[in-house]
Structure 1
Amino acid sequence: MRAMKAKRNAKRVNLTTTTEKEEEEEKELNGKITWSSEPGQRRRWRRLASQGPTPYAASRVTDELSAFLLLFTARMEQIVLVHTNREGSRSHGSEGAGWTDMDVVELRAYVGLLLLTGVFRSWGEAAVSLWDAECGRPVFPATMPLERFYTCSKALRFDDRATRPARHASDELAAVRELWDEWSSRLPLLYDPGREVTVDEQLVPFRGRCPFRQYMPSKPTRYGVKIWAACDARSSYAWNMQVYTGKAASGEHEKKNQGLRVVLDVTRGLGGGRNVTCNNFFTSYELAERLLARDLTVVGMLHKNRPELPAWPVHHRHEAFSSEFAFTPSVTLVSYVPKRNQSMLLLSTAHGDAAVAVDRPDRKPEILLHYNRNKDGVDNLDKLVTAYSCRRRTRRWPTAVFHNILDVSAYNAFVLWQELNPEHAASLHSRRNARRLFLERLGKALVAPLVQRRAGVPRAPAEVEVGDEADVDTDMDTELELEPEPELEPEAVEQRRTRRPEGATRAPRKRCQVCPPRLDRKTSMACARCAVRVCGRCYILYCPACDLQARRGGREATERTMPPERRREGCARTASPCAAGSSRP
């Protein structure tokens, strides 16, 4: 018992000593700063050297795809391909039986399908419904089979798992570090922010296992991976991003100055003459002095417990809509009272006077109005990315980070394309879905090469239309050396391509006449010859060449290729399998 009391007393002595040291440091810091009620000199803004897309980006952006590939580079594609193919071969046995290596065309098509899921707002929709023959989107099965999409998603990796434990000992982000560093280094090369830059945090939704998963009750998703971001306040272009991997191993000093370190890191390389807007987690007097050394100013909210603050404007009570100012030669501090017994503190190195909006009924100070105009750069990026996010359900946090990389890259590409093509932006200015149209064109451009490569694979009529849009050559007569069919009129060609009888309209959905009645499967498809209703599980798809052979008497060959149960059921009207395929009436 005596030993336990001695330990408690020792802890109390240590706590008392630590508190006394902190108070001495605060007094020492307060003694270095002299606050005054007299305004200083108003800062003069100098002209920016450049803003907007850089010359490097302007010379290489020609369309939506080229803008996206400037951010999702060939080096990143090789990182994903090498590690994904290694994981696919490993997970399918020692010889990789059952796994086909991905190439650049298939990887881009996979990324394009992810982006298209965001266009269709299908984040919570099962992949089976996207590939469904009746209710899904034709572009998905036309690009790759559902099983292949599942296989690629399962094998998706961004590092070598054999060497990961050694790297993970010193880097929590080892599973995606190589890809992240390559991507984040590209962001500042393509865009110069304007005069206003916002620094804030982004939360990537994730609820699985992750050593640095964060809980933020103020965010809509609450759980996820925290990312520090510096964005242009006007366009919300993500200029720099950094993943927060938890408490630093060096000790409490890093934790105490985390806000200062983050702002200095994400603004490294930012040209002078700009202003940084941040909230009270980051803002401090020391940060203001450090940014001024880089020719950068700061405007931000401030905690009331900062040791460098004077007592008289902070703790004195004022009437509503009143402002109290304090000045140093380089910093302006304002305490504003929005309502009785409440106040907010703001610090600025961009303002040197006590300007107040006297024409407003609330008489807000100019510093607060400036902060409100530029504080939402990162929050706006998060909102825009979430609107058309390509995120899919996953249990692996590296995959969640990869999805966020694709989302931010697609948005940054949209900003580049919009600013480099003002005439295009003006034509879409009145449309609220301008970004959706951009993402749709980008997704189709990414999947088009694989759709063309799969031109010979039998597909449903709706998938054939997707292939036609991708300039797929579906002429099979020459390859099979069949007699060419007579030349038809354009109306007849369109009618034959869609397999819809002339003058017919889309019929209401009725029960499939091949499936058992107890299943009650509704369909709008019918046999082109006998008009029997057949669902997507019961019909047989023919290419034009095989359809021509069937019409010429190749019914016996068709019967040999049919499943036994289908051969027994046959056609409801002819008591034999119908060789004409099926179509939508």
Structure 2
Amino acid sequence: MPQKPLKWGVKAWVLADSQQSYIQYVDIYPGRNAIPQTHLGSSVVKRCLENSNLVGKGYHLYTDNFFTSPELFANLFENFGTYACGTVRYNRRGLPKDIMCKKPSGINLRGDMKFRQKGFLVASVWRDKKNVYTVSTIHDHSTSQLKRLVNNDGTFTRQNFECPKAVADYTCNMGGVDHADQYIQYYCYNHKTYKWSKRVFFVLMEMAKFNAFKLFLMSPNHQTNLTFLDFSISVAKGLVNGYISETRRGRPSLMPVENRLVQRHMPASFDKKSKCHLCYMRNRNNRQVPIKQTKFGCLECVKHLCLPECFSKYHTERNCYN
């Protein structure tokens, strides 16, 4: 998608609550070869509502101009029992051409607006910095106010402007998916991989963590001042708590533990000096032990060992590296 900040990736359609940003449904887009491109936005909205079990419950749905069309909103109102509102592209079919055009007459100054209604569908155009076109089955011709920054001789001040109620409600309720995406990107476990299935899996896991965080905050029996970072840390600690790997890193010992503890070993001298094996291993295990050089050791174990402490400790104690 060349107009997006991240132009390459896997597309996911998301249906989220507008107040809590709780993710209700996720649909991974498999591409144009798997799903026909005709009326793609309408088919996505219908599928999300059907699969999330929200049909016929009177919910208000807010969509952006990629999905919004008079045909879709009429279908949702008549067959799905769902009211809808959203911005719309002025060249969609079924819109009134006198106001849904590039330069509608009478829309010149900031705050100018016009309405058209056909049955339960209400179309409006409002002048902000540029024209904002909306279609709604929720609202009528009622108006509201929005605050906007205005430049007065280099001084920016906030002023109230009249606008359609549909625009004001759209501004308040449209950020659910964006808010969820923002939270998911904060502490996302997302390392590079060539397999798209891994990327999708980890993003879905982050969505599940975000939903759990929102449910945690909404629960009356839990603290409400918990941040998303604290919640993520607690989840990570809960997953790894009590787990200790029994696999020991590094090369395995040449001499089994049972042999070095039961057989008879005599100290001997090597031709060259080298690091004491026991001092080196104890220092590697975070013990504050200096690593000594010695030419003595055990020819049977083929290890350089300091005399007499390290030599006796290595051949008498099972956990001599601790």
Same fold (TM over 0.5): yes
Residues 480-511 of structure 1: CA deviation (Å, up to 9, x unaligned): xxxxxxxxxxxxxxxxxxxxxxxxxxxxxxxx
Where does residue 84 of structure 2 map in the other structure? Answer: 298
Higher strand share: 2
Does 1:311 pair with 2:104?
no
Higher helix share: 1
1:270 corresponds, among 34, 54, 60, to: 54
Q: Which amino acid aligns with 2:164?
A: P
Higher relative contact order (Cα pairs below 8 Å, separated by 6+ residues) = 1
2:237 corresponds, among 430, 437, 444, to: 444
Aligned-partner Cα distance in 1 for 2:18–2:46: 18
Structure 1: runs of 5 or more not aligned: 1-214, 429-433, 460-513, 516-522, 535-555
Give 1:416-431 correspondences, 5 Å limit.
416-420=215-219, 422-428=220-226
Structure 2: runs of 5 or more not aligned: 148-158, 250-274, 277-282, 315-319
2:114 corresponds, among 316, 321, 324, to: 324
Give the secondary-structure state (helix, strand or coil) at the position aligned to 1:445.
Answer: helix
- CA shift at 1:417, angstroms? 2.3
- CA shift at 1:409, angstroms? 1.2
Residues 273-320 of structure 1: CA deviation (Å, up to 9, x unaligned): 211111111000011111112221111110111121112222324222
1:258 corresponds, among 33, 40, 50, to: 40
Does 1:335 pair with 2:125?
yes
- CA shift at 1:532, angstroms? 2.4
Note if contact 1:526-1:532 (Cα within 8 Å) is conserved in structure 2. no
Aligned-partner Cα distance in 1 for 2:98–2:124: 11
Note if contact 1:526-1:533 (Cα within 8 Å) is conserved in structure 2. no
Aligned-partner Cα distance in 1 for 2:287–2:312: 8
Give 1:282-431 correspondences, 5 Å limit.
282-293=67-78, 294-315=80-101, 316-317=104-105, 318-321=107-110, 322-339=112-129, 342-357=130-145, 361-420=160-219, 422-428=220-226
- CA shift at 1:259, angstroms? 0.6
Aligned-partner Cα distance in 2 for 1:244–1:323: 37
Where does residue 258 of structure 2 map in the other structure? Answer: none
- CA shift at 1:367, angstroms? 1.1
Aligned-partner Cα distance in 1 for 2:284–2:242: 31
- CA shift at 1:383, angstroms? 1.3
Q: Which amino acid aligns with 2:175?
A: D
Bigger CA radius of gyration: 2
Kindly tell me: are residues 578 and 375 of structure 1, through their superposed partners in 2, closer, same or farther at Cα, counting changes over 3 Å? Answer: farther
Q: Which amino acid aligns with 2:222?
A: H
Q: Which amino acid aligns with 1:417?
A: F
Where does residue 542 of structure 1 map in the other structure? Answer: none
Provide the identity percentage: 22
Note if contact 1:390-1:406 (Cα within 8 Å) is conserved in structure 2. no
Give 1:460-479 correspondences, 5 Å limit.
none
Aligned Cα root-mean-square deviation (Å): 3.5
Residues 112-148 of structure 1: CA deviation (Å, up to 9, x unaligned): xxxxxxxxxxxxxxxxxxxxxxxxxxxxxxxxxxxxx
Give 1:111-130 correspondences, 5 Å limit.
none
Note if contact 1:526-1:582 (Cα within 8 Å) is conserved in structure 2. no
Aligned-partner Cα distance in 2 for 1:324–1:394: 51
Note if contact 1:325-1:354 (Cα within 8 Å) is conserved in structure 2. no
Note if contact 2:116-2:123 (Cα within 8 Å) is conserved in structure 1. yes
- CA shift at 1:337, angstroms? 1.1
Q: TM-score, normalised by structure 1?
A: 0.41
Does 1:244 pair with 2:29?
yes
Where does residue 279 of structure 1 map in the other structure? Answer: 64
Give the secondary-structure state (helix, strand or coil) at the position aligned to 1:350.
Answer: coil
